[in-house]
């Protein structure tokens, strides 16, 4: 009896602790998001209000029409579609290539493995400003693309194409590194068991490792999607016209003029642009929160 009561008390205390934690974290989260609220409030103001000498939090009139007006400037359905296509292809290919390479680097011993892995890291160490031009030239002279001949001459190559946008993203080493670190944490006994069962490396990868990779693949998908969706510099260089423009380039180019920036529309467009990423994040959470426990590795 007594013990039972004690446990009940503890559970109760734990519940209180939980509530307190949630309240504290919520307050923290609100403080953390002040800049974000400023963004939303600005998106609902009129330009003279934004340009007024005094900053006031509350908009005089809540101009929800700003969102509609922002979407009327330019062909936003095209920009969203383009960015969506590029992001989906990039994420899909990256998931496959990165998890395979990550597995190879983490679990399979082969000659030169560590050196080859170190090389992949160097890719992240060079500022984009420096490699941008050779990458551009390589894509322009890609054999047999965009009217090029076998040696890569004559045409425009992959300039202004989806492929030209996607390929440099796929070559990023970030995901390989992430997957490698994840697979390294798996117990050695897992490989031994697979070996005893007569599994080939491919079978081990597909049957054992991939099913256990949901959390890391969800994380990678979310991060890669955020980076691709939000990239500005590369589409700026690769894209020449409206038909292939991506959302980030559009946000900057549609609302800034030589002399002024339409802050309200720019903020409204920014808010709309991050919406798909937010939804993605909310929906993928169950995969990386689910953890590895549910799928049950036991040593």
Partner 1 sequence: MKRKKIAALLLAIVCTAGMIAGCGEAEGEKAPEQAELSSEEPITLTFLRAGTDEATQKAYEELIAAYEKEHPNITIEYQQVNFGTDLETKLNTLYAGGSAPDLVRAPISTIALRASMGQYAALDEFIEGWPEKDNYMENAYEIGSYQGKQYGLPIVIDAQVFFYRKDYFEEAGLDPDSPPETWEELLEYAEKLTVWEGNDVVRAGFAFPISGEHQTLIPFARQNGSLVVDEENNKPTFNDDKTIETLEYLAKYGEKNLVIPYIRNKDQNPFLLGNAAMTYAGVGNYTALKADGVEWIDQLGFSCGVGREKISTFGGAQIMFISEESKHKEEAWKFMEYLFADESVGKLIEETGATAVKLSLSEKYIETYPEIGPAFLETLSHTQGMPKVEWAPAFEEAIKLAFEEAMYGKKDAKTALDDAYNQLLSEIE
Partner 2 sequence: MMAGKSKKRLGRIGNEPIGYVFIAPFYLFFLYMVLLPILNMAVNSFTNYDLYKTRDFIGLENYRNLFQDSIFLQSVWNTFIYSAMYIVPTMVLGLLFGLWMSRESKGFHILRTGFYLPYLISMVCASTIWLWIFDPSAGVVNQILRVLGWETYDWLKDPDMAMGCVVFISIWKNMGYCMLIYLSGIKAIPAYLYEAAEIDGASRVQRFWYITLPMLQPTTFFLFITSCIASFNVFEQVNVLTNGGPLNTTTTVVHQIYIRGFTQFKMGYASAMSVMLFLAVCLITLVNFRFGNQGQDTDIG
Considering the rule CB under 8 A, would residue 140 count as an interface residue with partner 1?
A: yes
Considering the rule CB under 8 A, would residue 168 count as an interface residue with partner 2?
A: yes
Ordered alpha helix ranges (H), the chain: 2-32, 34-43, 47-50, 65-72, 76-107, 113-125, 128-140, 162-170, 174-184, 188-196, 201-203, 210-212, 214-230, 233-238, 247-255, 263-290
Q: Tell which positions 28-67 bind partner 1, by CB under 8 A.
A: 46-48, 51-53
Closer CB to partner 2, residue 9 or residue 171?
A: 171
Residue 256, strand partner residues: 261
Considering the rule CB under 8 A, would residue 233 count as an interface residue with partner 1?
A: yes
Q: 213 by DSSP, 3-state: which?
A: coil
Q: Tell which positions 135-154 bind partner 2, by CB under 8 A.
A: 135, 138
Q: How far is C-alpha 69 from the chain's CA centre?
A: 28
Half-sphere exposure of 81 (CA within 13 A, CB side): 7
Considering the rule CB under 8 A, would residue 253 count as an interface residue with partner 1?
A: yes
Closer CB to partner 2, residue 1 or residue 130?
A: 130
Residue 261, strand partner residues: 256
Candidates 167, 194, 208, 265: give the one binding partner 2 (CB under 8 A).
167
- Residue 289's binding partner among partner 2, partner 1, none (Cβ under 5 to 8 angstroms by kind) is partner 2
Considering the rule CB under 8 A, would residue 204 count as an interface residue with partner 2?
A: no
Considering the rule CB under 8 A, would residue 299 count as an interface residue with partner 2?
A: yes
The 8-class DSSP code of residue 59 comes to -
The footprint of partner 1 (CB under 8 A) covers 46-48, 51-53, 73, 111, 129, 132-134, 136-138, 140-143, 151-153, 156, 159, 233, 236-237, 240-241, 252-254, 256-260
């Amino acid at each position: 009896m007594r013990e039972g009561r004690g446990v009940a008390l503890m559970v109760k205390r734990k519940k209180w602790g939980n509530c307190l934690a949630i309240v504290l974290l919520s307050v923290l989260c609100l403080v953390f998001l002040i800049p974000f609220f400023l963004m939303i409030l600005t998106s609902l103001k009129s330009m003279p209000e934004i340009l007024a000498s005094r900053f006031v939090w509350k908009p005089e009139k809540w101009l929800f029409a700003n969102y509609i007006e922002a979407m009327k400037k330019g062909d936003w359905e095209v920009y969203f579609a383009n960015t969506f296509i590029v992001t989906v292809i990039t994420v899909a290919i990256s998931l496959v290539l990165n998890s395979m390479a990550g597995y190879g680097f983490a679990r399979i011993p082969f000659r030169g493995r560590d050196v080859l892995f170190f090389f992949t890291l160097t890719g992240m160490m060079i500022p984009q400003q420096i490699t941008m031009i050779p990458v551009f030239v390589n894509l322009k002279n890609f054999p047999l693309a965009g009217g090029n001949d076998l040696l890569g001459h004559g045409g425009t190559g992959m300039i202004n194409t989806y492929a030209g946008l996607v390929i440099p993203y796929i070559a990023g080493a970030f995901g390989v590194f992430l997957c490698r670190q994840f697979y390294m944490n798996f117990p050695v006994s897992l490989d031994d068991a697979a070996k005893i069962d007569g599994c080939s490396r491919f079978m081990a990868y597909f049957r054992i490792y991939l099913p256990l990779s949901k959390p890391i693949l969800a994380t990678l998908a979310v991060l890669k999607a955020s980076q691709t969706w939000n990239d500005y510099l590369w589409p700026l260089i690769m894209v020449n016209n409206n038909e292939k423009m991506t959302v980030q380039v559009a946000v900057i180019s549609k609302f800034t003029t030589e002399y002024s920036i339409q802050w309200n529309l720019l903020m409204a467009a920014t808010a709309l642009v991050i919406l798909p990423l937010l939804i993605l994040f909310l929906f993928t959470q169950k995969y990386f929160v689910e953890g590895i426990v549910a799928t049950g590795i036991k040593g």
